[in-house]
Every structure is written in C-alpha cells, then in structure tokens.
Amino acid sequence: MREIIEGRVWTLGRDVDTDQIISGKYLTIIDPNVLKTKVLEIGLPEFASQSRPGDILVADANFGSGSSREHAPQALRAAGVGAIVADSFARIFYRNSINLGIPTIEAPGVRALFERFDPARIDMRAGSVTNVRTGRSISFPPLPPHLIDLLEAGGLVEKVRRELAARHPPAGTMPR
Amino acid sequence: MSATARGHGMTLAEKILARASATESVVPGQIVEGTVDLAMMHEQGAQTVQPFHEMGATRVWDPDRVVIAIDHWVPASTEGAAVLHRILRKFADEVHLPHFYDVGNHGICHQILAENGWVVPGDLAVGTDSHTNMLGAMGAVAAGIGPTEMAAVLALGRLWLKVPPTLRIEVRGTLGPGVTAKDLVLRTLGEVKTTGATYKAVEWTGPTIAKLGMPERLTICNMTTEMGAKCGMVAPDGTTMEYLARTAKHAMHPLQPDADASYERILRLDVDGMPPMVACPYSPDNVRPLPEVAREHIRVDQAFLGSCTNARIEDLREGAAILKGHKVHPRVRFIVSPASTAIYRQCLSEGLVDLYTEAGAVFTNSSCSACFGGNMGIIAPDEVCASSSNRNFPGRMGPKEGRIYLMSPAATVAAAIRGELADPREYA
C-alpha cells in the first residue's frame, strides 16, 4: 500500500449506484479490460475515454449503492483509479473495493473540497485528504488494522493465499 | 417517531454474530470473524472461480453449506451468460458442490434458499447478491458480499464482519384492505431513506410484524437493502418455526434480542389508515401515497409482476384477485415472472397461468426477469414501468431515462389494467 497517493480528481454526486458504474446489460462481461470501457457510462459518461491511470474519484454520500456486482470496482481498478474517496460508501461496494486492493476512504465532507481536475494528495497513515490547489484538507479516521493488512497484501486474494500457504506448506518444506 | 435505547443486552444481530464468532458478547463496531452457516452464489459466482484458484484453494470448506442458483439469465440469453453458467457448472463438478439449482429446477436465488430451508434461525448466511438480506426473515443475519469475498468464504468458511449498530423498527396497527407489506416497507424507506441504515442491522418488530406471514416478512427484509442495511431481520417465532418445520437443512438456533438491548435508533410506525404507497423515479426512497400520484394520470407502458421482492404464490394470487374479470390495457405489456419453478408449477395447478394469459399478460418462466435490465423486459427511454420489484435507479431497466414506479403486486396489476398508475383498492 502506498502511504501517499496523489492524482487528478474526478468529482461525482451522491447516490452514484452500481447501475451507474456498470449497467445491468454489461453483467455478463467479466474481462476487466472490456469492463473499463463501459465504466461510469451512466454516472460520468466522459470518464471511460478521458480518465488517466492514477486519477482519483471524489464522490458525495452513498457511493456504490445498489447491487453487489464486483464488476463496478473491477472496472474502476482496470481503469487505473488510484483511490476512491467519498463522504460515505454503500457497504458491499466498500468491501468489494478494499478486497480488490483499491484504497477506499470514507471522509465525510470531502466532496465539498474539490472541483473537477483539482490535484489531490492522500496521506493514508496520517489520515488526510488535501486539495493541493486550494490547500484545504480534511482528515479521516485511519483504517482499522485488518483493513490496512488487506491493502498491504494487495487485496483479499493475496491475503488468503498467504494464509492457506502457511497452513499447507508446499511438499518438501519443513515447518519452522 | 424516533428514539434510542441504551441497555447492556444484545440486539438480534449482535446475538447471532456472537454465536457465529463463538464469543459471549459483541458490541457495535467490534470486528469479528464469523463462521458461515450458508453461502449462496448466482451467476456472479462465476467471478469467484478465478480468485478461488489464485488463492491456492483446492477444496470448499463444506460443500453441504453451499448453494448455487442461477437466476439472472435463465435460460441463457447471450453467449456471455452461457459462459457464466458453464464456468459455474464446471466449478461445481470440480470441487463437488451438489446443491446446484440449474435450468428446470431454477428460481431466484433468495427464493430457492427460502423455500428449501437453506437458511434457518440463528444462521450467518452470505450470498453474492445484494438482496441476500431477504433471508433475515428467518431470524438470521443474511448479507450480500462480492465474488472475491465469496472465494475467501468458500476456502475458509468464514469472513470478517464489523458488528453493526441496530435500527429497530416497531410497527403497530392493521394494514387495510388492498394495503400490503410492500406498502409498509416503501413507507419505511420514505422515512429511513436510502442511507438511513447504511452499515446497520434492521430489526423489524411489533404487533403488525408478528401478524405477518413469512412471504410478507421476506418482502420487508428484502428491501432493507435499499435502506443501505447490512442485514434486516425478524426474530423467529411460531410462524418461522412452522414455515421451516419440514424443510430446515440444518440445526436451528432461534435466538431472540434481549429486552435490555441497546439500539442506535428506534423508529415507531403506525399503519392504521395508511394508503398504498409508491416509490417514484429515480430512487426507492422517493415515496409518496399512491392515490395522490395516481391523480397525476401517469401513463404506463409496461407492468412487471416479479422479482425476489414480490413474486411468491401469495403475490401472484393477490394480483390475480385484482385482475379477475378485467383485461390488460391494450397499450401495456404486462410481464408476470414467478420467483421459482415451484411457484410456477403452483400457478399452473391453481389456474393462475390461464387467468393472467387470458387477460393479456405474458407469463414467463422463473427468473429475475425485467428487474435488472440485463435480460428481458427492457423499456425504451421515454417509457414508464409499474413494477413490484425493488429498485428504480436510472438505467435499472435499460436506458437511464426510463421511469420505474415501485409498488405492491396489487397496485402493479391495477396499473396494468388501467394503463396508468391506479389505486388497487378501486379494483377490490
């Protein structure tokens, strides 16, 4: 996990649900590289073609509400989103996004600090999001240790892989 | 009316999570590792397979605790859907998952769990669909998760959970004729709003809830998802135990909330005199009394009686009682999709398929159908759908401009008859 994350901001309103991130008609697509061309088609149509790797989403309340579809954070990760910051998240999206290793930060009040394309700087350890253009910043409670562990591992797949490997060492290795 | 209660006891969600994590007591905000009693996957489970393998997992922790039920594209309507089904079938063979509800024995995943006793009181259940909350009607904690998380559950049989604070909703009064549990949950959404229960547990209680049958409890727990809730539940009672008596797949633990439990908020509702309700575009919390909206003569192009929220036999009977002696309005496409194959067969034997189709409806096989805008029953950008389903977000049934009004099965049928939104009590 990077401790400092910097990038250009795309702003979004409240209640951007998963239908707006990846529409129901695309749910049979599971290739993230195809999904990223459809990302935010309803919520922010110009994003898919104009975003750059490392861009940061700053949303108002209840980002990612609605369905459990992991296509939504999959598509955002494939598009190279560096972090998602919001006033608040819907719970399944939040878990999915963290599980995929995307820095996902709840910072109430953050949306009001940014306009589109403002440069943002996020300090994961200190727990702050700063608008580099205006100098205004907002703090957030640092993530709990088990979520930091998840992000440090790069996501849930790697974390479980390590756990299973520790449980069942490959043949020929001696338990320490 | 709203209040809080601070005691030393535990709410129902806390009781269940304490049991699942084998600890004496838990408090909101605490992170626990919960042992899973039941894991459910639908088509999204196809995305579980790759992370499961990447984790280095080779076996599922307990194949008898895993249910696969395909429901979004049944039978497969595109090559993409066929591939998802194929991935799931191969995976089920490879890791020996016997409980696969495939085409011909299919139904909406949550309904399959309910009618086959897969979730019982005291369970911690997870599924790869956001409306997994519905199974909380059994007195369980049932929550939606994504497919990567499901891969971890299949490998380990557990997951981390933050113990949610509980919103207690106490309901008193009598639902009038033509007013249903759907109207109750819509009205509640109008007050709680789509973020009012985010990360929280919802505990339905009170004399009105005690009188509801299991189908109605399933409906009100289903739409706690639209409140943002992690789970929604009704404490188990005689009604629950009777419903599960012959079908329960594993041991029941009928836990109850403590009398001195601590609630973050208590919402008290009285349904005496409550009219039918409707959620207007583009949010399930944009709720108004249906008679008031009906006066605006809102033209309807499609009516949809289906979805995990309201397509049980009781819902289809409720609709049939309204439809009897009427025809579907010539301008309206009326789609009826029962929630499971068992319900489909029940409709056949009760003559409901004849009744609906003679009136001009299309009666489809069981699936999620028009609800999610990815398979069939798509509407055009300038069209309106009256629907018994649970979401009316922009783009939910296809184009972002399409307008969906959410209502009870009775009101959906009334709209199909009149060709505009209508108070179902005028057809009783």
E strand or H helix that includes residue B221: helix B214-222
Residue B209, C-beta contacts closer than 8 angstroms, at least 6 positions apart:
B171, B217, B220, B234
Closest CA to B412 of B314, B280, B282, B323: B323
Shortest distance, CA B142 to any CA of chain A (angstroms): 13
Domain annotation covers residue A54: yes
How far apart are the CA of A72 and the nearest CA of chain B, in angstroms?
10
CA-based nearest distance B34→chain A, Å: 15
The whole-model pTM stands at 0.95
- Domain assignment present for residue A84? The answer is yes
The range of the structural domain enclosing residue A11 comes to 4-142
Bridge partners, residue A113, by sequence: none
- Measured distance CA(B384)–CA(B301) in Å, rounded: 5
What angle is formed at CA B344 by the lines to CA B343 and CA B345, rounded to 5 degrees?
A: 90
3-state secondary structure of B391: coil
* Residue numbers in A near B145 (CB within 8 A): 68, 92, 95-96
Q: B141-159 b/e with 16+ CB inside 10 Å = b?
A: bbbbbbbbbbbbbbbbbbb
C-alpha B326/C-alpha B427 separation (Å) is: 9
H or E stretch covering B172: strand B166-172
- The single-letter code of the amino acid at B111 is Q
For residue A172, name the pLDDT band (cuts at 50, 70, 90): low
Fold match between B2-249+260-270 and B278-427? yes
Specify whether the CB–CB gap between B258 and B228 falls below 8 A: no
CA distances from A2 to A8, A124, A126, B27, B425 (A): 16, 8, 12, 32, 60
Q: Is residue A37 part of a domain?
A: yes
The pLDDT value recorded for residue A169 is: 65
* CA–CA dist A101, A142 (Å, integer): 16
Give the distance from residue A107's alpha carbon to the nearest chain B alpha carbon, in angstroms. 15
Please, what is the average pLDDT of chain A? 93
Q: How far, in Å, CA of B65 to CA of B150, rounded?
A: 13
Alpha-carbon torsion angle B373, B377, B382, B388, nearest 10: -80
Q: Would you give the distance in Å from CA A116 to the centre of its chain?
A: 18
Total number of domains constituting chain A:
1
User: How large a percentage of chain B has pLDDT more than 70?
Assistant: 98
Distance of CA A109 to the CA centre of its chain: 18
pLDDT given at position B415: 98
pLDDT per position as a tens digit, B138-150? 999 999 999 999 9
Under an 8 A CB cutoff, do B199 and A95 touch?
no
Question: Measured between alpha carbons, how far is residue B343 from residues A41, B111, B392, B409 in Å?
Answer: 37, 10, 25, 15
Question: Cβ neighbours of residue B393 under 8 Å, at least 6 residues apart?
Answer: A17, A19, A20, A66, B282, B283
Any alpha helices (H) in B223-340, and if so which ranges? 238-244, 290-294, 313-323
Residues of chain B contacting A25 with CB distance shorter than 8 Å: 373-374, 398
At A176 the pLDDT is: 44
State both tokens at B226: 């639209």
Cis peptide before B243 (omega within 30 of 0): no
Mutate to test the interface with B, among A26, A27, A163 (most CBs of B within 10 A): A27
pLDDT in tens, A20-67: 999 988 999 989 999 999 999 999 999 999 999 999 999 999 999 988
C-alpha span between B195 and B285 (Å, rounded): 9
Q: Per-residue pLDDT for B288 more than 80?
A: yes
Q: Mean pLDDT, to the nearest integer, of B37-55?
A: 97
Identify the CA nearest to B18 among candidates B5, B7, B33, B40. Answer: B33
Which residue do the tokens 């229960």 mark?
B197
Nearest to B53, CA basis, from B127, B158, B145, B148: B148
Predicted local confidence at residue B3, as pLDDT: 65
Dihedral sign for Cα atoms in the order B371, B376, B377, B378: positive
Give the mean model confidence (pLDDT) for residues B248-265. 97
pLDDT digits (tens, 9 = 90+) for A70-128: 999 999 999 999 999 999 999 999 999 999 999 999 999 999 999 999 999 999 989 99
- Supply B61's token pair: 């922790």
Architecture of domain B278-427: 2-Layer Sandwich (3.30)
Confidence of residue B2 (pLDDT cuts 50, 70, 90): low
Mean pLDDT, rounded, for B421-425: 98
DSSP letter string, B328-356: --TT-EEEE--SBHHHHHHHHHHTHHHHH
Mean pLDDT calculated for residue range B154-159: 97
Strand locations in chain A (E):
4-12, 56-59, 83-86, 104-106, 119-123, 128-131, 137-139
Chain A residues lying within 8 Å of B401, measured CB to CB: none
Which residues, 6+ apart, have CB-to-CB distance to B281 below 8 Å? B392, B394, B403, B404, B405
Cα B243 to Cα B223: distance, rounded to the nearest angstrom:
21
Residues B138, B364: Cα–Cα separation, whole Å: 28
**Cross-chain residue pair B195–A61, CB shorter than 8 Å:** yes
Q: Is the pLDDT of residue B172 over 50?
A: yes
Inform me whether the pLDDT recorded for B412 exceeds 70.
yes
Do B232 and B201 contact (CB within 8 A), yes or no?
yes
Backbone dihedral angles phi then psi of residue B64, each to the nearest 5 degrees: -80, -5
pLDDT digits (tens, 9 = 90+) for B320-370: 999 999 999 999 999 999 999 999 999 999 999 999 999 999 999 999 999
Other beta carbons less than 10 A from residue B312's beta carbon:
26
Question: Structure tokens of B378?
Answer: 């798509």
Listed by start position, the domains of chain B span 2-249+260-270, 278-427
| B153-to-A148, A150, B40, B157 alpha-carbon distances in Å | 20, 15, 10, 5
Instruction: Say if the Cβ atoms of A67 and B80 lie within 8 Å.
Output: no
Question: What CATH number is attached to the domain comprising A95?
Answer: 3.20.19.10
A167 pLDDT band (50/70/90 cuts)?
A: confident
Res A175: pLDDT: 47
Contacts of B230 in chain A (CB under 8 A): 91
Whether residue B84 and residue A28 make contact (CB cut-off 8 A), yes or no, is: yes
Q: Could you tell me the CA-to-CA distances from B75 to B116, B119, B379 in Å, in that order?
A: 22, 26, 21
* Phi-psi domain of B127 (left: phi exceeds 0; alpha: psi -120 through 50; beta: other): beta
pLDDT bucket at B169, cuts 50 / 70 / 90: very high
Structure token pair of residue B259 = 């009398």
Which two three-digit tokens encode residue B25?
Answer: 């007591």
Taking the CA atoms of chain B, what radius of gyration do you get in angstroms? 21
pLDDT tens digit sequence for B118-130 = 999 999 999 999 9
- Give me the residue from A61, A66, A146 closest to B393, CB to CB: A66
| Separation between Cα atoms, residue B402 and residue B404, nearest integer Å | 7
- Cα B90–B94–B100 angle (5° rounding)? 60
Output phi, psi for B112, to 5 deg. -60, -45
ipTM field: 0.91
Topology (CATH level 3) of domain B2-249+260-270:
Aconitase; domain 3 (3.30.499)
Report the mean per-residue pLDDT for chain B.
97
- Average pLDDT, integer, range B261-285: 97
pLDDT attached to residue B428: 77
Q: Where are the beta strands (DSSP E) in B7-81?
A: 31-35, 38-41, 66-69
Quote the pLDDT of residue A174.
53
> How far is it, in rounded angstroms, from Cα B118 to Cα B99?
10
Beta bridge partners of A130: A121, A137
